[in-house]
């Protein structure tokens, strides 16, 4: 399956993952979908992340990933999954603080965001357990350790 991925780079950071890496991580996350979906990943600066997080989640701080599922209007046949907004500076800072490889943390957040686009959530404990177990399984196929395990 080849996900149709639109990557928008709206940040100056020099340590971004490659488009090939983003494609691999996205396809890993969406491997259970029959028809290859389309989605956008936008890599942003802290300011844009904070603005969107405040506007859509009423949290006035930058965040690692925001997911915006696309709601297909009735009668329209399009396989557009939605948009992921990922703040490069937050991802890199978190990886350093958590003693994780930066690429592993990027992979985790792309997969995490894609699962949100598929309707998974982690507000309730049972939902969080289900979502985390899927993330762990998908990351293991990429040779990445459990991100929820203390190092």
- Cα first-last separation, the chain: 34
User: From 3.30.43.10, 3.20.20.70, 3.40.390.30, 1.10.579.10, which CATH number describes the 4-141 domain?
Assistant: 3.40.390.30
Break the chain into its structural domains and give their ranges: 4-141
Burial readout 86-114 (b: 16 or more C-beta within 10 A, e: otherwise):
bbbbbbbebbeeeebebbbbbbbbbbbbb
* Tens digits of residue pLDDT in 75-123: 877 788 999 999 999 999 999 999 999 999 999 999 999 999 999 888 7
pLDDT at residue 142 greater than cutoff 90: yes
Rounded Cα distance between 112 and 107, Å, is 8
For residues 46 and 89, is the Cβ–Cβ distance under 8 A?
A: yes
pLDDT confidence of residue 1: 63
Please provide the average confidence, as pLDDT, over all residues in the chain: 92
Helix/strand/coil for 72: coil
Average pLDDT over residues 46-67: 96
**SS3 breakdown of the chain: % helix, strand, coil, rounded to 5?**
45, 20, 40
């Amino acid at each position: 399956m080849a996900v149709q991925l639109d990557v928008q780079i709206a940040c100056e950071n020099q340590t971004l993952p490659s488009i090939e890496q983003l494609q691999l991580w996205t396809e890993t996350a969406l491997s259970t979908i029959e028809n290859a979906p389309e989605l956008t990943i936008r890599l942003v600066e802290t300011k844009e992340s904070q603005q969107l997080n405040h506007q859509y989640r009423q949290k006035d701080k930058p965040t690692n990933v925001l997911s915006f599922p696309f709601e297909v209007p009735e009668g329209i046949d399009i396989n557009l999954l939605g948009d992921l907004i990922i703040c490069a500076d937050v991802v890199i800072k978190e990886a350093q603080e958590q003693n994780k490889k930066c690429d592993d943390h990027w992979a985790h957040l792309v997969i995490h965001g894609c699962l949100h686009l598929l309707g998974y959530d982690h507000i309730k404990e049972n939902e969080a357990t289900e979502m985390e177990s899927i993330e762990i399984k998908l990351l293991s196929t990429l040779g990445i350790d459990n991100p929820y395990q203390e190092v």
